[in-house]
Amino acid sequence: VQDYLTNGPLKGKTLVVTAGGTREALDPVRYLGNRSSGKMGIAIAKAAANAGARVELIVGSVSAELPHSDHITVTQALSTSAMAAAVSNKFQNADALIMAAAVADFRPAVLADQKIKKHGDGTLTLHLVPTEDILAKMGVQKRSGQVVIGFAAETNDLLQNANAKLQKKNADAIVANDVSEPGIGFGTDDNAVTILRPNQAPLRWSRQSKMMIAEKIVALTAKLLKVGD
């Protein structure tokens, strides 16, 4: 293992990996969140470290155990704007970004400074506004040689929707996830994905552990960085 760590395909490379779900505060005690466990992103961080990379792991809310490794630096960024700032900062000096986090698409338009109380008939209407798209922003900002990989969580029209994200976000690859299939995706130990790249036929990786999928994503990253084989 030690030999692989020091001579692995990602030796000398820095990868930024995001994991978990972001939370958008509603008031001092409440937030809007999602069920992401962080398992996929954490597995990618470990696999990248095993392949010799220095990893900047940026986590939102995670229920999986965080890695302890000299090769992995963990930064917590709970809200989408905190995650955007952390990614933007760490990606400047990195070779690749892998956005495995389930980032909130909307946040409350106003953050109440006091706990929201029940009123009248008890109904409450929330006004939500869009968050910034971190992956799309990094896709635009990336320098020549920097690699950006995103995920796509879909319940329908997987290839069509994921292909649209590949283009719109200027990603080098999209890991497309059918989150409607039982036993894979959110919170599970297994995953099954389809890899999309510009002008390449889709690549299907059938159901297997997230750790094995992570190793394949790391090998793909090395290939896109033109290191390893």
Applying CB under 6 A, the span of 38-46, 118-126, 150-158, 192-200 interacting with ligand CTP comes to 150-158
Counting contacts by CB under 6 A, is residue 131 touching ligand CTP?
Answer: yes
The CB-of-28 to ligand CTP minimum distance in angstroms stands at: 24
Counting contacts by CB under 6 A, is residue 50 touching ligand CTP?
Answer: no
d(CA 39, CA 211): 9
Among 57, 153, 195, 213, binds ligand CTP (CB under 6 A): 153
Among 134, 211, 217, 225, binds ligand CTP (CB under 6 A): 134
d(CA 75, CA 58): 5
The CB-of-4 to Ca ion minimum distance in angstroms stands at: 35
Helix or strand (DSSP H, E) at 159: helix 158-168
Q: Any catalytic annotation for residue 34?
A: yes
3-class SS string, 162-198: HHHHHHHCCCCEEEEEECCCCCECCCCCEEEEEEECC
The CB-of-119 to Ca ion minimum distance in angstroms stands at: 31
Nearest CA-CA partner of 101 in 39, 165, 55, 154? 39
Among 62, 103, 195, 222, binds ligand CTP (CB under 6 A): 103
Task: Give the CB-nearest residue to Ca ion.
Answer: 105
Burial class (CB in 10 A: 0-12, 13-18, 19+), 121: exposed
Q: Which pair of structure tokens corresponds to residue 154?
A: 């879909």
Give the residue numbers marked as catalytic: 34
What are the residues binding ligand CTP (CB under 6 A)?
80, 99, 101, 103, 105, 131, 133-135, 150-153, 165
